[in-house]
Structure 1
Amino acid sequence: MSNIQDQIEKERTEAREVCGVKGAESAECAAAWDAVEELQAEASHQKQKAQPEKNSFQQYCDANPDADECRVYDN
């Protein structure tokens, strides 16, 4: 995951440079920031895949931890 974060930082730096040279309204600037956004989206998707999916009961208990059916008792 850190590899994609490194790539995002590299693309950000390049986007800033391109926008500084070509101007903030240029097509090159927009394309550079699009590349950054695509990498950020990919990083988000990878993070979601790494987390196990929760069933509806687990989601309910996350939202309502004080509900009777979600309480856990130590014996």
Structure 2
Amino acid sequence: MSDINQEIEKARLEARAACDTAGSTSGECAAAWDALEEIQAEASHQREAKVEQKNSFQQYCDDNPEAAECRIYDD
């Protein structure tokens, strides 16, 4: 995960440099910030993939929500 964090920081520095050089309203500046946004989105997707790993029971309940074992009762 630190590799992607390094990529994010590098892209952020490049975006700032592009905006300082070409101006904040330039296409180059916008493209650099878009590239940074793409890298950040990928990092977010990778974090979600780690969190969303389900065990076999959770997967069973996702596939069979009507099963008795998977029922959720309100108090």
TM normalised by structure 1 equals 0.69
User: How many Å separate the matches in 2 of 1:27 and 1:2?
Assistant: 29
Correspondence 1:6 to 2:6: yes
Three-state SS of the structure 2 residue aligned to 1:25 is coil
**Partner residue of 2:42?**
42
CA displacement at 1:53 relative to structure 2: 4.5
Note the 1:1-75 alignment, pairs <5 A.
1-51=1-51, 52-53=53-54
User: How many Å separate the matches in 2 of 1:53 and 1:28?
Assistant: 42
Which AA in structure 1 matches 2:50?
A
Runs of 4+ in 1 over 4 A off after TM superposition: none
Q: CA RMSD in A?
A: 1.8
Higher relative contact order, chain-length normalized (CA < 8 Å, sep 6+): 1
User: How many Å separate the matches in 2 of 1:26 and 1:47?
Assistant: 32
Which AA in structure 2 matches 1:41?
A
Uncovered stretches (5+) of structure 2, i.e. residues with no partner: 62-72
User: How many Å separate the matches in 2 of 1:44 and 1:53?
Assistant: 18
Identity %, equivalent residues: 53
User: How many Å separate the matches in 1 of 2:44 and 2:26?
Assistant: 27
User: How many Å separate the matches in 2 of 1:8 and 1:42?
Assistant: 10
